[in-house]
Structure 1
Amino acid sequence: MKPFYLFLMLLWGALAVYTGHVIAEYGINLFPFFFGDMMRWNWPGQFNLDFMMMLFLSASWTAWRNRFSVAGLALALVAFLGGAGFLLPYLTYLAWKHDGDTASILLGDNKHMDDLI
C-alpha cells in the first residue's frame, strides 16, 4: 500500500507545483476562465463541465461517506472546490487510517449497511 500512498502524494505535489505556476501567471481567480470556456460551448468548456460533474461526484461521495454529518458536509464543500487538491491527501489519509482496507476507505462507517436499511 505504501507505493499507492507515494503515488498519491506524487500526484498531489505535481498538482501543487502546476497550480502555483498558474496562479503566479494568471492570478487566483479561476472562475472567469472556467465558466467562460463553458459559455463558449467549445472543447475546453466541455472538459470543464465534465470536470465539474466529477467534482460533484467527489463531493457527494465525501458527504455520504461521512453520513452527511456537519463535518461531512464541510468536507464535501472542500472536495467540490478543492478537487484533486483535496481528494489526493484525503484518500492518502484514509488509506493510512484504515491500513489499506479498501472497503473501509471507500465506505467509512457505511461499511455495515445493515443499520442504514
Structure 2
Amino acid sequence: MHKRITFRGMEHSPVMEKHVDQQLEKILHILDNKPGPKHLDVVLDASKIHCDNKVECTLKTPQFDLISHHSCPDIYEAINISIDILYHQLLEAKRKLVDDRKQLGRHEEFKKER
C-alpha cells in the first residue's frame, strides 16, 4: 500500500497526519485483502486568501479509481468528510463489483439450462 499525504500552503503537522491516518483506517481495512498495488493520495490545501481549506483524496487500485474532495473552513472537518465520501464511494464500487460477479455467474447458469 502506497500512501502519500501532501500539505499545500501549510507546514507539515504530525498531529494532522496522525488524524488522517486514523480516518484512513476504515478504508485500509476494506483494501487489506485486495490483491495488486494500491495508491492512496491525500492532499491538504490551506488557502491564505479564502477561508476554505480543501482536502482531496485519490484511491487507485486495479479494481477501483476513486476521487473525493471537500472544502470548508475547518481542515479537520474537511478531512473527515472527504474520507467519508471516499469510504462510501468504495463501498458502493465494491458492492457493484460483487453484484456484477453474481450476475455473470447467474448468466452462465441460465445458458446451461437452455
Identify the TM-score tier after normalising by the shorter chain.
Answer: under 0.3
Which is helix-richer, 1 or 2?
Answer: 1
Q: Which is bigger in relative contact order (C-alpha 8 A, separation at least 6)?
A: 1
TM-score, normalised with respect to structure 1: 0.27
Which is strand-richer, 1 or 2?
Answer: 2
TM-score, normalised with respect to structure 2: 0.27
